[in-house]
Chain A
Amino acid sequence: MLLISVSLCSFLLMNASPIDPLSANVGQAALGQMSREHIEKLESYWGSKEPPVKRFITWGKDFISGDMGISLIYKRPVSKIIAERLKNSFILMLTAWIISGVIGFILGCISGMNEGKLIDKIIKCYCLIVSSAPVFYLAMILLLVFSVWLKVLPIGFFAPIGVKSEDVTLMDMLHHAVLPAVTLSITGVSSVAIHTREKMIDIMESDFVLFAAARGESRWQIFKNHCFRNVLAPAIMLQFAQISEIFGGSVIVEQVFSYPGLGNIAVNAGLGSDLPLLLAITVISAAIVFFGNLAADTVQHIVDPTIRRGGLNNVSILE
């Protein structure tokens, strides 16, 4: 339902855009030279005179059966391009997502357990700066430090320059994915860390933690026995909700590092007014986010026993 409306919405937006499918496909100059009949023939071929609703239905049918149209700038089927690029992006996003989740959670826990101490202040400051810096700026700084000054990591692209695509080894690929992945992770850390921190502070003030401390449990025991699970559930929810952010970040990071992923072609599609490609990317990203939310609910069930047993009223306390 949501997916259909996302595609409908972006379809309508693109429909309203001043880009004429004819002139985008054929080129303005060629269009001017063509005869009237020829133009009419092309118009019926692209269906640009048909009402938008009808076009949307045809597009939707084709999309579900796997035919996403042909990209205007790459002159290849959209589905193939996306399949290829999605693989690259997926590695990047998955690593960044996992790393940022784990590190953010750990930082948030440390900071929450030591509220008001120096380490808490450092972590808070770090989170504030990172969330205030645009992703592309962070990427540029890392690029400057590691690739230009220290020369330990490559400047960009997916593989070394001047090497045939068959000769690219797995190590090369990993080597090139390090910087983009690190950039994405750094930016992803802050929101998880801040929320985990606040949750942790709440829990540290609760009666059961006070009681545990009174019983003489050590800090580690308190964390392991009482805090960990309570903090984990909201953190996981947040982490899944962040998929959309990571996706948005990857668009920018891929652009800075010229990494051939989904975000990179999304930008190219936008700049080259390649509507079929952009539309497909939008729908796919919405699908990824949608499944992320679905996964969040499922994981929530596994982690949080109160929800599993149907006690849904506990959700309000967790939030």
Chain B
Amino acid sequence: MLASWNNRKALLAKTIILTVFLIIISIGGIFMEEAALETDFSRKNLSPCFKYLFGTDNLGRDMFARTMCGLSASIRIGILASAFSSVIALVFGIAAALGKRIDFIVNFLIDLIMSVPHILFLIIISLCFGKGVRGVVIGLSLTHWTSLARVIRAEVVQLKQQPYIKISGKLGKGKLYIAFQHMLPHVFPQFAAGLVLMFPHAVLHEASITFLGFGLSNEQPAIGVILSESTKYLVSGMWWLAFFPGVMLVIVVICFYAAGNNLRKVLNSASAHN
């Protein structure tokens, strides 16, 4: 059956499988929250076995449940943050292409954000808005829109030179009408792929900032928290505390990358059949 599929269908199928996998993790994690918080000292410091796939930590918490729960939190925060920041990117990107003065301001903002390492920016923003989910989401949204905004701006600048856009303008259509009716459909594939490809960065930065102690609070089973706790036990040889959660995080991030790249190929009809 697979042989009769063309590349486009296969890509679409892959993307759907990846998406379903990610959705299962993010929803499954919510249901595992209770198991993740349950402590049981009769089973502490177990190395991985069949019952506890990823082992247990020094409070006897099931690392598998904690990992799933943390991943799901990370994914949800990532989705929220990338949604916000891609909207910022879309608005700024299109706005930049329409007026010279706005273009100057937007470019300046992009340079401003790019010139400070993201981590430092996140630290400052989390100081400003407080730690926890809110600070992290605001921080991630404010820092991650820059590259997507650049892509969209370049696209729109190119579109502006197209004859049909110019004709539309000459026919008396307003700037907003042109932006929504003519430009948005063209920009959309770039936008969607950019949105999905923003997840990995957002998720990684979320984990890093939480790891450093500026993100989610300690009680929450977040990936960053799990990993920063496990650094203390690395030296005593409890490798499973760090190894499995990290591997799961890497797998999730790779899934996002793959899904984003596939989506780009599917939406970009010219390259879908290669």
Contacts and interface: CB of A to CB of B under 8 A. Distances in A.
Interface stretch (A10-18, A33-41, A102-110): A10-18
A108 to B, nearest CB: 18
B213 A148 contact: no
Interface string A128-158: 1101111111001101100110000001000
Contact of B120 (A144, A255, A285): A285
B169 interface: no
Interface string B122-134: 0111111110000
B250 A148 contact: no
A136 B226 CA distance: 12
A128 B254 contact: yes
Given A16-B128, A17-B127, A132 B250 contact: yes
A16 to B, nearest CB: 5
B212 interface: yes
B201 to A, nearest CB: 10
Given A133-B250, A267-B212, A282 B112 contact: no
User: Which range holds the interface residue count of chain A?
Assistant: 35 or more
Nearest to A138: B246
A281 B235 CA distance: 31
Contacts of B214: 270-271
A156 to B, nearest CB: 10
Contacts of B112: 2, 5-6, 9
A129 B250 CA distance: 7
B117 interface: yes
Interface of A: 2, 5-6, 9-10, 13-14, 16-19, 128-129, 131-137, 140-141, 143-144, 147-148, 155, 244-245, 247-248, 251-252, 255-256, 263, 266-267, 270-271, 273, 278, 281-282, 285-286, 289-290, 293
A208 to B, nearest CB: 24
Contacts of B163: none
A14 B128 contact: yes
A293 B235 CA distance: 40
Contacts of A140: 227, 230-231, 234, 242, 246
Interface string B183-217: 00000000000000000100010011001111000
Contacts of B129: 17
Given A134-B204, A134-B208, A255-B212, A282 B116 contact: yes
A31 B111 CA distance: 41
Interface in B212-238: 212-214, 227-228, 230-231, 234-235, 237
User: Which range holds the interface residue count of chain B?
Assistant: 35 or more
B123 A267 contact: yes
A244 B250 contact: no
B117 A289 contact: yes
B102 to A, nearest CB: 17
A78 B180 CA distance: 51
A281 B125 contact: no
B272 interface: no
Nearest to A273: B127
B115 A132 contact: no
B118 interface: yes
Contact of A144 (B119, B200, B234): B234
B234 A143 contact: yes
B123 A270 contact: yes
B209 to A, nearest CB: 9
A141 B246 contact: yes
Q: B117, B129, B243 — which one has the most chain A CB atoms within 10 A of its CB?
A: B117
Nearest to A247: B117
Interface in B250-265: 250, 253-254, 257
B114 interface: yes
Interface in B128-185: 128-130
Given A140-B234, A144-B242, A252-B208, A267 B200 contact: no
B104 interface: no
Nearest to B214: A270
B128 A2 contact: no
30 contacts: A2-B108, A2-B112, A2-B115, A10-B124, A18-B130, A134-B207, A134-B249, A136-B207, A137-B227, A148-B234, A148-B235, A148-B237, A244-B114, A244-B115, A244-B116, A245-B117, A247-B117, A247-B120, A248-B117, A252-B208, A255-B212, A266-B120, A266-B123, A267-B212, A270-B123, A270-B126, A270-B127, A270-B212, A289-B117, A293-B115
Contact of B108 (A5, A133, A267): A5
A133 B242 CA distance: 13
